Structure 1
Amino acid sequence: MNPFWLSIGVAVIALIIVITIGLCVCFWMNRWRGNVIALLDAIITLPLVLPPVVVGFALLMVFSPGYAFGGWLEKHNLGVVFSSAGAVIASAVISFPLFYQTVRSALQSVDHNIEDVARTLGASELRIFFTISIPLAWKGILTGSILAFCRAMGEFGATILIAGNIPGLTRTMPLAIYSYVEAGQYMDAFELVIYICALTLALLSGIHLLTKASMFRNIERS
């Protein structure tokens, strides 16, 4: 069960990073007006459409001790390559676009008239974002969080390049499944497949049930 709990831990830490950075980026992107907004949006979304191996190679080049930033991290005992930190970073980078696109769409669907009223009353943009925009877009934020968590938990290509396949340290469920299949241990691989499918199905079903319950509450209020 070690790969199962390791995958959960990596995905949870990656999700915390994704939510923290993602909300800041969405706040800035939804309020900034400029000609390069489309380019920045494409760059942020790029890990979603690129092969994970390509993203993993890019991360390896950034964090490898043989290069400037990676060398600086290694000098301060903050090595990322072939460590659990590398698995977290890979999962966060791969899952970030899913959270970003879902949350940004949810924030754009918020009634801007309500935000404008708050502005006329003197509320700052940051206060409007946290007290009006986020509460009104909570379903999109929850959906984006669950999708990002599932994607982080299932990450393989980028993780194996930057973090390796080290038992007990970086061998998450996808990596363990690969190792079991390679060794001919199909029943062990099948057991992990059942775990990851059941957990993902439960989370996705939770999105549907929460959205349905919220819709019924809105109908009753109206």
Structure 2
Amino acid sequence: MKNTGSRSFRVMLMTFDLTPLWISFKTTLVTTVIVFFLGIGAARWVMNLPQRVRGIVDALFTFPMIFPPTVLGFFLLLLLGNNSPLGQLLKGMGMNLIFSWSATVVSGTVVAFPLMYRTARGAFEQVDRSVIDVARTLGLSKRTIFMKILLPLSLPGLMAGTVLSFSRTLGEFGATLMIAGNIPGKTQTLPIAIFFAVEGGDMRTALAWVGLIMLLSLLCMVLQGLWSFRSKATVSGR
């Protein structure tokens, strides 16, 4: 009985398609790196804008947060579709984003960017302004203040934004399905695989993917908590 059970388990593992896991991991990793730098750069830029302009730009950057993912995906489809001006331009350059792996990165970036931007801006604004003022009186340039003071003091918040962006991209479904579709081995991410597994009645596969996503998300949160605790302890020591 044991040999039969272990043999069945090995056969199940051999026949289990792991491409959705690889596609999700690759998409989430690339998207998180892009959003990390975009969010920090946008937060720094907005902080230096005049107050009136800052409110308008801030609203534009956070606008994707209020849209349902499917609505956001619909707008992305209109913007990047082959019949749109931008889509025609990309097509003339030999690029076709719609229903490609690149589309999963685009949708992930759009939905995760507001989280990273808002978290980064909040982390920057929580830094004691007197420290920045003292650095300016000492003649330090804006770049040096940002790299040597503002970034290190904001690291716990920035890491929290990175984890949120990672988790949001990992669980992205609506916008990705709208512009990337469900192409096995190409654009089928874990959430899309779960949806179509449930729709097809394959509850075993759906439960396996759900458990894996929950495990990855929990691991990210634990690592972020540990890293944040160490960073705060280091900053306090300094």
TM-score (norm 1): 0.94
Which of 109, 113, 116 is residue 130 of structure 2 equivalent to? 113
- Give the letter aligned to residue 156 of structure 2: K
* Deviation of 1:210 (Å): 2.4
Q: Which moved more, 1:119-128 or 1:3-12?
A: 119-128
1:1-47 CA distance string (max 9 Å, x none): 11011101001111111112111111111122231322221221111
Match of 1:77 in 2: 94
State whether structure 2 residue 178 is matched by structure 1 residue 158.
no
Which of 200, 203, 213 is residue 220 of structure 2 equivalent to? 203
1:175-214 CA distance string (max 9 Å, x none): 0001111111010010000100000011112222223344
Query: Aligned equivalents of 2:35 and 2:64: distance in 1?
Result: 13
Within 5 Å, give how 1:1-222 maps onto structure 2: 1-216=18-233, 221=237
Query: Aligned equivalents of 1:66 and 1:143: distance in 2?
Result: 39
TM-score (norm 2): 0.88
Q: Secondary structure of the equivalent of 1:80?
A: coil
Query: Aligned equivalents of 1:141 and 1:34: distance in 2?
Result: 23
- Give the letter aligned to residue 195 of structure 2: Y
1:94-124 CA distance string (max 9 Å, x none): 0111111111101101111221222223222
Are 2:113 and 2:165, in contact at CA under 8 Å, matched by a contact in 1?
yes
* Deviation of 1:215 (Å): 4.5
Q: Secondary structure of the equivalent of 2:182?
A: coil
Q: Aligned Cα RMSD in Å?
A: 1.5
| Bigger radius of gyration | 2
* Deviation of 1:217 (Å): 5.4
Which segments of 5 or more consecutive residues in structure 1 lack a partner in the other structure?
none
